[in-house]
Amino acid sequence: MIGRLNHVAIAVPDLARAMVQYRAALGAEVGPPQDLPEHGVTVVFITLPNTKIELLHPLGAGSPIAGFLEKNPGGGIHHICYEVEDLAAARTHLQAEGARVLGDGRPKIGAHGKPVLFLHPKDFNGCLIELEEI
């Protein structure tokens, strides 16, 4: 059901510093910041030959990333994103297997302009999983 790894998301306390670090120290291709108000985050994508890294920074006080950074002030891996061909079919299958979809269960539009869902980390060995329809 799941396809390729789309990205690994890292919450960062200082977005500008993280962008410089990836560009200067690692020589990575760093994209521009994008505000995603519906998700409460600002994101920056770092393009790698085989996948992407998504830097996440809080956008507003109610951001879920703000809570994550309170618990992890230095930042850290927040989630991993897998591609799926049919998000509705994936949701139905996962719920039948006992997995919990976060929020109201309806897809939202993610940073790539495609529908996404998040799965409860307690159902996947402590890892928050994002599914993105390709």
- Tens digits of per-residue pLDDT, 72-110? 999 999 999 999 999 999 999 999 999 999 999 999 999
| Residues designated as active site | 130
Question: Average of pLDDT values for 125-130?
Answer: 97
Residue 61 has pLDDT above 90, yes or no: no
Task: Residue 89: count other Cβ atoms within 10 Å of its Cβ.
Answer: 12
Produce one character per residue of 19-28: b if its CB has 16 or more CB atoms within 10 Å, e if not.
beebeeeeee
- The full set of domain ranges for the chain reads 2-133
The pLDDT score that the predictor gives to residue 46 is 98
68 closest CA partner among 39, 34, 30, 95? 39
- Tens digits of per-residue pLDDT, 27-54? 999 999 999 998 999 999 999 999 999 9
Amino acid at position 112, single letter: H
Q: CATH: 3.10.180.10, 2.40.50.140, 3.90.1170.50, 3.40.50.300. Which one for 2-133? A: 3.10.180.10
The two tokens of residue 69 are 């950074």
Q: What angle do CA 21, 78, 74 make, to 5 degrees?
A: 50
The pLDDT > 70 percentage for the chain reads 100
Residue 17 has pLDDT above 90, yes or no: yes
The pLDDT score that the predictor gives to residue 131 is 98
The pLDDT > 90 percentage for the chain reads 96
Residue 9 has pLDDT above 90, yes or no: yes
Question: Which band of pLDDT confidence, cut at 50, 70 and 90, is reported for residue 132?
Answer: very high
End-to-end CA distance of the chain: 12
